[in-house]
Structure 1
């Protein structure tokens, strides 16, 4: 009864994840309208927005929704707003976020600031191989391998984590200021319009009573 009439294939799902049917502009506009209509004070929505943005710069892919909710709860922000804000990290922006995080992290750690894509993929491959080997070693009694994981942790994960935290902090502070300003202006304008409508109704009723 509630199934889609047009079944989406795997290819279509991937394409729509990278580029939504209405475009990223429409998707962002939709998120903004949902965000500003949340029933909470501007500072709480802005805190949640900042939490979601900050988490989006972390390398913990697949956990961004959960972490955003936790961070929003810690700073007493709006949890729903934090989840909406994680869409700052999307298939289009993630390559730039990752590259910026790696660059900043390596710069702070005093390592090579430029990490080539092939080197990053090789580190992922070696780390994945070590994880699989170590899982199997529990059952077959072979010696565990840690070199690939250690290299991945040193060359990829730590720089990304550190650089992402620094970049995420800067962008989330800016996001807080922007979100607070926009949502505060929207709520003030909405309250003013509601007040005007209420006054108009009262005038109509008072006029009817006089007659």
Structure 2
């Protein structure tokens, strides 16, 4: 195939580049910013797309962030590609503080209503993820083996992780997305105006040269 890589990357290298892309996350961020600036859409639509993408990174729907961001952008009448690019606001460097902010806010909101989780054990977050994944696999196998499904760990995961994360991500997600919206709107506007000015100047120069050639 024409676009197939000639050098097959080992699995460990793929994982490393997912966590730390070539050139680092700074270079990746500059690339995303460059693409956002050059999108052929009015600045307010691009900024709405950025809002949708950044807000999505504060939701616990991992693996579906592109779908959530695109849907939210369509609802807000924002640029869908801007929303997809802006989901890279969530990356291995930011997901830990995002998760901590969402979880702490979620526990705080639920405690205010007296609905805070009452864990029967004190297993860590990683252990809850692993146990929930084990339940999913075991229950999937139960469909073919006739064993009784057990949703205990999945229920614990929903009550103590997923639901607090989903509720708690709304406030920090809205604040961060609004900050990015109001920061990006004037920057994109200035960039597009500067680009239009450069194109007009270039066109005027070409017209002048063409008129001079005809005069000769």
Counterpart-to-counterpart distance in 2, 1:208 and 1:8? 55
Residue number in structure 1 paired with 2:14? 13
Q: Does 1:62 align with 2:49?
A: no
User: Residue deviations 1:27-51, cap 9 Å, x none?
Assistant: 1101111111111100111111111
Quickly say closer, same or farther: Cα 1:181–1:118, change in 2 above 3 A: farther
Name structure 2 gaps, 5 residues minimum: none
Quickly say closer, same or farther: Cα 1:140–1:13, change in 2 above 3 A: closer
User: Residue deviations 1:138-177, cap 9 Å, x none?
Assistant: 4444443232222111110111111112211111111111
Residue number in structure 1 paired with 2:77? 76
* 3-state SS of 2:22 partner: coil
Q: Does 1:201 align with 2:206?
A: yes
* 3-state SS of 2:169 partner: helix
* 1:168 paired residue among 142, 164, 173: 173
* Aligned residue pairs, count: 207
TM-score between both structures, scaled by the size of structure 2: 0.87
Name structure 1 gaps, 5 residues minimum: none
Counterpart-to-counterpart distance in 2, 1:46 and 1:151? 38
Q: Does 1:23 align with 2:28?
A: no
How much has 1:180 moved relative to structure 2? 1.2
Residue number in structure 1 paired with 2:194? 189
Counterpart-to-counterpart distance in 2, 1:142 and 1:198? 74
User: Residue deviations 1:35-82, cap 9 Å, x none?
Assistant: 111111001111111111111111111101111111111111111111
User: Greater shift after overlay, 198-207 or 172-181?
Assistant: 198-207
How much has 1:184 moved relative to structure 2? 0.5
User: Residue deviations 1:14-33, cap 9 Å, x none?
Assistant: 11111111111111101111
Residue number in structure 2 paired with 1:32? 33
Q: Does 1:51 align with 2:56?
A: no
Counterpart-to-counterpart distance in 2, 1:175 and 1:39? 19
Counterpart-to-counterpart distance in 1, 2:137 and 2:131? 10
User: Residue deviations 1:103-150, cap 9 Å, x none?
Assistant: 1111111148xxxx9511222233223333433444444443232222
Residue number in structure 1 paired with 2:43? 42
Counterpart-to-counterpart distance in 1, 2:188 and 2:39? 9
How much has 1:182 moved relative to structure 2? 1.2
RMSD, matched Cα:
2.0
Counterpart-to-counterpart distance in 1, 2:45 and 2:53? 12
